[in-house]
């Protein structure tokens, strides 16, 4: 039987920490609805202790959104945990996500705590969280710059105190796929407990968040923390759509299933982009404007003969609509003839040559030649439409 990787979406928590982004409760609810439609297993709705607005949004999502387990973030202190528990009161399924930093730099410079104090805090606060919910995730912030044996100690302690998921974030996007694979493999063996789910949470500071997340999955993690469009602190989090579509397209490599309805991906991406005001770059994998557009003549010819020559995924699979052959200065005769036929314009081979020359000239001036342009060229070259 194939394992299932649980998709933990943090668009509304870590994603909303993107500089310049501030979503209203209504906007968060709209995104949460779409995330539920998408089929995420865990929906991290926010950090209730951070502000009254965050508290309200988490409470409203907990009350209204059905399907995913609603998750609230809390630092390793009683106040945060109690506030998270209050915000989650009306959820059908609730998880408290408790975290504390475990790297020397974070413990010394930020927390000003000794490693012993951090361990004591983990033990106490995971127990407090378990008084409110059965589902507690514990995260070792900055795990990839922590000492491995300290992570083992922290992880074991959290499990004994009742944590059901252990997360080892690459908080500053520092690790590499091989290093992360080795780290997770070691932790998995050292903390071996079949009741515990191991999780990855990767940031994109070196552009490796997706690759590192996939490495964590290869090493045995069965939860992956991601955000729509890869938004999040600094360079962002691993992108949900890239991780999910890699697992889908390369089943042969990862051998895991997921619960995402991939046809809802494009809609989720558009909604998050509109509401956060963060545009999606045109060449972004899976959801960028150009992700399923083909311009060069060679590629268009291949596509018209067999889509799988240049498409490893179909746009329909992610809810994108249809593949587009873009007419521009690189386009060839095959795509041009097809488009003309679709417009009801039947050209002879020499007319195609003339029109193609005009398309190339116009293509120097504009990037996407539309149907009106084509009809105007036809009118001038052939004489009637």
User: Annotated binding site, which residues?
Assistant: 14, 201, 203, 237
Smallest separation, CB 164 to ligand KIV (Å): 16
Binding region for ligand KIV (CB under 6 A) = 14, 99, 139, 141, 169, 171, 201, 203
Smallest separation, CB 59 to ligand KIV (Å): 20
Closest to ligand KIV by CB, 227 vs 359, is: 227
Q: Which helix or strand (DSSP H or E) is residue 8 part of?
A: strand 6-9
Closest to ligand KIV by CB, 99 vs 180, is: 99
Nearest to 69 by CA among 48, 90, 43, 88: 43
Tabulate helix, strand, coil % of the chain (nearest 5): 50, 15, 35
- Give the single-character DSSP code of 343: T
Closest to Zn ion by CB, 262 vs 276, is: 276
Which option in ligand KIV, Zn ion, none does residue 99 bind, with CB closer than 5 to 8 A by kind? Answer: ligand KIV
Which option in ligand KIV, Zn ion, none does residue 106 bind, with CB closer than 5 to 8 A by kind? Answer: none
Smallest separation, CB 140 to ligand KIV (Å): 8
Residues 6+ away with beta carbon under 8 Å from 161:
122, 123, 124, 126, 127, 130
3-state secondary structure of 277: coil
Q: Convert 41-71 to b/e letters by CB count within 10 Å (16 or more is b).
A: bbbbbbbbbbeeebbbbbbbbbbebebbbbb
Q: Convert 276-308 to b/e letters by CB count within 10 Å (16 or more is b).
A: bebebeeebebbbeebbbbbbbebbbbbbeeee
Which option in ligand KIV, Zn ion, none does residue 69 bind, with CB closer than 5 to 8 A by kind? Answer: none
Give the span between the Cα atoms of 364 and 322, in whole angstroms. 26
- Give the single-character DSSP code of 106: I
Smallest separation, CB 241 to ligand KIV (Å): 19
The token pair that represents 148 in the structure block: 């491995």
Closest to ligand KIV by CB, 59 vs 102, is: 102
Which option in Zn ion, ligand KIV, none does residue 141 bind, with CB closer than 5 to 8 A by kind? Answer: ligand KIV
Known binding residues for Mn(2+) are 14, 201, 203, 237
Which option in Zn ion, ligand KIV, none does residue 42 bind, with CB closer than 5 to 8 A by kind? Answer: none
Terminal C-alpha separation, the chain: 59
Which option in ligand KIV, Zn ion, none does residue 276 bind, with CB closer than 5 to 8 A by kind? Answer: none
Smallest separation, CB 178 to ligand KIV (Å): 21
Smallest separation, CB 13 to Zn ion (Å): 8
Smallest separation, CB 244 to Zn ion (Å): 18
> Would you say 52 and 84 are in contact if contact means Cβ atoms under 8 Å apart?
no
Closest to ligand KIV by CB, 55 vs 168, is: 168
| Partner residues linked to 225 by β-bridges | 8, 201
Which option in Zn ion, ligand KIV, none does residue 139 bind, with CB closer than 5 to 8 A by kind? Answer: ligand KIV
Give the span between the Cα atoms of 305 and 364, in whole angstroms. 27
Q: Which helix or strand (DSSP H or E) is residue 74 part of?
A: strand 69-75
Closest to ligand KIV by CB, 46 vs 169, is: 169
Q: Compute φ and ψ for 70, nearest 5 degrees.
A: -85, 130
Q: Which residue is nearest to Zn ion (CB)?
A: 14
Which option in ligand KIV, Zn ion, none does residue 180 bind, with CB closer than 5 to 8 A by kind? Answer: none
Closest to Zn ion by CB, 125 vs 238, is: 238
Smallest separation, CB 49 to ligand KIV (Å): 13
Closest to Zn ion by CB, 38 vs 200, is: 200
Binding region for Zn ion (CB under 5 A) = 14
**Structure-token match 């494009």, residue found:** 266
């Amino acid at each position: 039987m194939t394992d299932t990787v649980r998709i933990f979406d943090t668009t509304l928590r870590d994603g909303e920490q993107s500089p310049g982004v501030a979503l209203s409760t209504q906007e968060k609810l709209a995104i949460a609805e779409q995330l539920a439609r998408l089929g995420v297993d865990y929906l991290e709705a926010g950090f209730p202790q951070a502000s009254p607005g965050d508290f309200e949004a988490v409470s409203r999502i907990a009350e209204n959104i059905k399907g995913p387990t609603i998750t609230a973030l809390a630092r390793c202190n009683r106040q945060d945990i109690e506030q998270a528990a209050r915000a989650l009161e009306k959820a059908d399924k609730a998880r408290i996500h408790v975290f504390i930093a475990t790297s020397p730099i974070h413990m010394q410079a930020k927390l000003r705590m000794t490693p012993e104090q951090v361990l004591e805090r983990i033990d106490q606060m995971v127990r407090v969280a378990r008084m409110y919910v059965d589902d507690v995730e514990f995260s070792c912030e900055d795990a990839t710059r922590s000492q491995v044996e300290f992570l083992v100690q922290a992880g074991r302690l959290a499990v004994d105190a009742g944590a059901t998921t252990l997360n080892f974030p690459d908080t500053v996007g520092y690790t590499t796929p091989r290093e992360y694979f080795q780290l997770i493999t070691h932790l998995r063996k050292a903390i071996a407990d079949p009741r515990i789910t191991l999780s990855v949470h990767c940031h994109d500071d070196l552009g490796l968040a997706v690759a590192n997340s996939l490495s964590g999955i290869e090493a045995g993690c069965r939860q992956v923390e991601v955000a729509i469009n890869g938004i999040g602190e600094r360079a962002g989090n691993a992108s949900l759509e890239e991780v999910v579509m890699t697992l889908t397209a390369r089943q042969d490599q990862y051998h895991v299933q997921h619960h995402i309805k991939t046809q809802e991906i494009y809609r989720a991406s558009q909604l998050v982009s509109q509401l956060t005001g963060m545009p999606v770059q045109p060449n972004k994998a899976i959801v960028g404007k150009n992700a399923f557009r083909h311009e060069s003549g060679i590629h268009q010819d291949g596509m018209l003969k067999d889509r799988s020559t240049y498409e490893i995924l179909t746009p329909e699979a992610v809810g994108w609509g249809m593949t587009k052959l873009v007419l521009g200065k690189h386009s060839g005769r095959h795509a041009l003839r097809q488009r003309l036929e679709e417009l009801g314009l039947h050209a002879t081979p020499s007319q195609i040559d003339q029109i193609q020359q005009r398309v190339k000239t116009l293509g120097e001036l504009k990037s996407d030649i539309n149907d009106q342009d084509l009809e105007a060229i036809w009118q001038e070259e052939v004489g009637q439409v």
